[in-house]
Structure 1
Amino acid sequence: MTSDPTPYSAFQQFERERFSLIAQDYDQAIAATTSQVNDALLDAIKVKSGVKLLDVACGTGWLSAAAIKRQAIVTGLDYAENMVAIARERCPQGRFYQGDALNLPFDANEFEAIVCNLGILHFPEPERAIAESFRVLKSGGYYAFTCWTPPTRNPFMALILGAVQNYGNMNVDLPQGPPLFRFGEATECYHVLSKAGFNQVFINELSINWTFSQAQDVMPTVVVSTARLGPLLAMQTQEQQRNIERAIIEGASRYSTDNGVEIPASVVLAVGSKP
């Protein structure tokens, strides 16, 4: 399929380059953390032995590996070259491609299940990505995506973004992208899936815990392993960075446990079936 120009082309290129740059750190921090919802995701789209699954924005392959463990037939796709390379190493039984979720290089009705774990917020045109997944999904198949809930229901995001809002500058020079928490509400998820043609739409909320050895590890980990939060923090002045880090350490310390620091977060899970 041919891609049309979008108002977020700079955003898309930034995401591709950034994710390739941080692929290893992302794998060890973000992907490991978000894998906590993998089983719930795979259950939601009824993945079992023999199911042909497409993992859109597969990242470094944690979700694909969980599906392969269930003996699914897995294909993964990601925009970032180094992400795909790690996914191939992790899942030699799967097929992995570097490609664009807005223009999937697959035939119509090719897959029985499609999943996108925390990728939807990184697409310049989420509706177009969802429409592409609808196209390559077989009738009767299931599609699911997840997205971070907003800071009001997400202590981890509240901690990071709250520190920047209070002690730094949210308006740094980053390419404009879609709203980060657009799909953090059930009504928006239901609307976009229904409009794309899905039925049996189901929305749920899943818990995630971010774990760190100590509160001082939070900000450095975020800086090196995230696509947009990291640059947002790194582009503050030195004084702002010191104040932000102090606030993050103080806030994270409130979540100290015998096993380190455990900061709760949550994601919205949106599921639909193709008629």
Structure 2
Amino acid sequence: MFDAVVCAFGLGHFPQPELAVAECVRTLAPGGRIAFAWWDDPARQRIQGLFREAIAEIGVTLPKDVPQGHNVFRFSDSDEFLRLLRGAGLTAVAVTGHAASFFVPDTETLWRGGLGSLVLTGAVIRHQDHATQDLIRTAFERRAKVYKSAHGLTLPIAFKIGSGQRST
């Protein structure tokens, strides 16, 4: 049994989040604490937002061979996040929002980083032909210019931390 369990930005990747959280709670000692971090809505979490908006602008949809799961932004909604934690039997449940800035030297770095780390979004882009990828990239770069700063790009990011305690 553990006194604490922490999961940083994995929640949206679990195919069955309710089962995953229940399993994490099961491993907690009575009175143990748990915390999950997950991204806020893409309108406030601009790294994901820039990519998603560029894809939508071009009208690209998810390719059939990319696995489809639950809505990865479900827990960007505080009420859904709270419902998940309470549903796992936790007490003293809370969800708090946090905001910060992310600095990246240029759009090329952001583009490559996003393609390499945004699993579903990157897969959607990589499954397109080169002409469509170029259209997405042009839309992405135009949108990213809004965040140009003296240091490159300064992007707002936001995330939530949901926490709770196993009853004693």
Decide: shared fold, TM above 0.5.
yes
Which residue, 38, 56, 81 being the options, matches 1:165? 56
Determine helix, strand or coil for the equivalent of 1:153.
coil
Q: Which residue of 2 aligns with 1:219?
A: 111
Identity across matched positions, percent = 28
Which residue, 22, 28, 31 being the options, matches 1:137? 28
2:91 corresponds to 1:184: no
CA distance in 1, matches of 2:152, 2:43: 24
Give me the TM-score of the superposition, normalised by structure 1.
0.57
**8 Å Cα contact 1:134-1:274 kept in structure 2:** yes
CA distance in 2, matches of 1:268, 1:131: 19
**8 Å Cα contact 1:199-1:273 kept in structure 2:** yes
What's the offset of the Cα at 1:261?
0.9
Report matched runs for 1:195-274 at 5 Å.
195-274=87-166
Report matched runs for 1:41-56 at 5 Å.
none
**8 Å Cα contact 1:121-1:180 kept in structure 2:** yes
Determine helix, strand or coil for the equivalent of 2:71.
coil
Higher RCO (Cα < 8 Å, 6 or more apart): 2
Change (3 A) 1:171 1:227: closer
CA distance in 2, matches of 1:264, 1:205: 13
What's the offset of the Cα at 1:227?
2.0
What's the offset of the Cα at 1:151?
2.1
Change (3 A) 1:124 1:141: same
Report matched runs for 1:7-18 at 5 Å.
none
Cα deviations by residue, 1:96-120 (Å, 9 ceiling, x for unpaired): xxxxxxxxxxxxxx10000111101
User: What is the one-letter code of the residue matched to 1:262?
Assistant: T
Change (3 A) 1:156 1:224: closer
CA distance in 1, matches of 2:42, 2:118: 17
Determine helix, strand or coil for the equivalent of 2:119.
coil
Change (3 A) 1:195 1:114: same
**8 Å Cα contact 1:218-1:249 kept in structure 2:** no
Determine helix, strand or coil for the equivalent of 1:183.
helix
**8 Å Cα contact 2:44-2:156 kept in structure 1:** no
Determine helix, strand or coil for the equivalent of 2:62.
coil
What's the offset of the Cα at 1:153?
2.8
CA distance in 1, matches of 2:116, 2:96: 30
Which consecutive unaligned segments of at least 5 residues does structure 1 have? Answer: 1-109
Give me the TM-score of the superposition, normalised by structure 2.
0.92
Once superposed, what is the RMSD of the aligned Cα atoms? 1.4
Give the total of aligned pairs: 166
**8 Å Cα contact 2:48-2:118 kept in structure 1:** no
Cα deviations by residue, 1:74-117 (Å, 9 ceiling, x for unpaired): xxxxxxxxxxxxxxxxxxxxxxxxxxxxxxxxxxxx10000111
Cα deviations by residue, 1:13-35 (Å, 9 ceiling, x for unpaired): xxxxxxxxxxxxxxxxxxxxxxx
**Higher strand residue share:** 2
What's the offset of the Cα at 1:168?
4.1
User: What is the one-letter code of the residue matched to 1:149?
Assistant: D
**8 Å Cα contact 1:218-1:248 kept in structure 2:** no
